[in-house]
Structure 1
Amino acid sequence: MPEFVPSLLVVAAALVDADGRVLLQQRPEGKTLAGLWEFPGGKIEPGELPEAALVRELKEELGVDTETACLAPATFASATLDNGRHLLLLLYVCRKWRGLPQPLEGGALCWKYPAEMFALPMPPADLPLIGLLDSLL
């Protein structure tokens, strides 16, 4: 029987602007994978729905407001982390939000077309999502 590996459930958003560019944030110094570019989002708290977690995370990290109805499930990624835990990343596409994204938790922000993302250093779980976004957008 396979050994149980605890899963870390994470949600992320591809915030897409009117030109088809996607917002990425750089992981701040002092955090795991510091300096890498990623889709904004974070951990799902116990008892929290994924969409509610993403709405909360976008407010906390970027200062933007959106509604769960504005989040379109796109794809997911599955990866094993360095500590042996399993990461399940749920990616949503969001084209509608209120406010100007700001890096409230440090790091930097940039807008990139999906094809440009292949040249950026990104966490292993984010990399397989780029091709899908490139075909969707």
Structure 2
Amino acid sequence: MTERIVVVGAALLDEGRLLAARRSAPPELAGRWELPGGKVEPGETPEAALERELREELGVEAEAVERVAGEWPLKPPYVLQVWTARLRPASPDPEPLEDHDALRWLTSGELWDVDWLDQDVPAVREAAARLGA
């Protein structure tokens, strides 16, 4: 059995809103929305990977808060795990720096206004429970 590679996604929450990022690449994913994040590097904790990916992709300083229950299969050998995260007090506003061409802060009533990547839908549902709560 091949080793699984964990991809972390950030349910970045701020003032009752969830950040969605629109993919600009690869072509088969471009134009669809996802929770920002990326691969956990060898020797890195998922939380550290999440914070690094948010810095690289969005230019923000954020902290992982708690893991969202569940794990979702991506293309083998990848699996998606999601953490809620929040911006640190002095963080700049997020900007789409790499792999994305747009960002949107969505309230619980707007969550399904964007075309989420299929594998992100169950994770967004889980994160949504934290928005309304």
TM over 0.5: yes
What RMSD in Å do the two structures reach over aligned CA positions?
2.0
1:128 and 2:113 aligned: no
What residue in structure 2 maps to residue 13 of structure 1? 10
Structure (1/2) with the larger strand percentage: 2
Q: Which runs of 5+ in 2 are unaligned?
A: none
What residue in structure 2 maps to residue 37 of structure 1? 33
The count of corresponding residues between Structure 1 and Structure 2 is: 128
What residue in structure 2 maps to residue 78 of structure 1? 72
What residue in structure 2 maps to residue 101 of structure 1? 94
The runs of at least 4 aligned residues of structure 1 exceeding 3 Å deviation read: 29-32
The worse-fitting range, judged by mean Cα deviation, of 106-115 and 48-57 is: 106-115
What residue in structure 2 maps to residue 60 of structure 1? 56
Superposition TM-score, scaled by structure 1 size: 0.81
Q: 2:58–2:95: 8 Å Cα contact kept in structure 1?
A: yes
Seen in structure 2, the aligned counterparts of structure 1 residues 71 and 28 have a Cα distance that, compared at 3 Å, is: same
Q: 1:114–1:131: 8 Å Cα contact kept in structure 2?
A: no
What residue in structure 1 maps to residue 47 of structure 2? 51
Seen in structure 2, the aligned counterparts of structure 1 residues 46 and 108 have a Cα distance that, compared at 3 Å, is: same
Superposition TM-score, scaled by structure 2 size: 0.83
Matched letter for residue 80 of structure 2: L
- 1:36-65 Cα distance to aligned partner (Å, 9 max, x none): 100011001111110111110010000001
Between structure 1 and structure 2, the one with the greater Rg is: 1
Q: Which runs of 5+ in 1 are unaligned?
A: none
Query: Which residue, out of 82, 87, 101, partners 1:91?
Result: 82
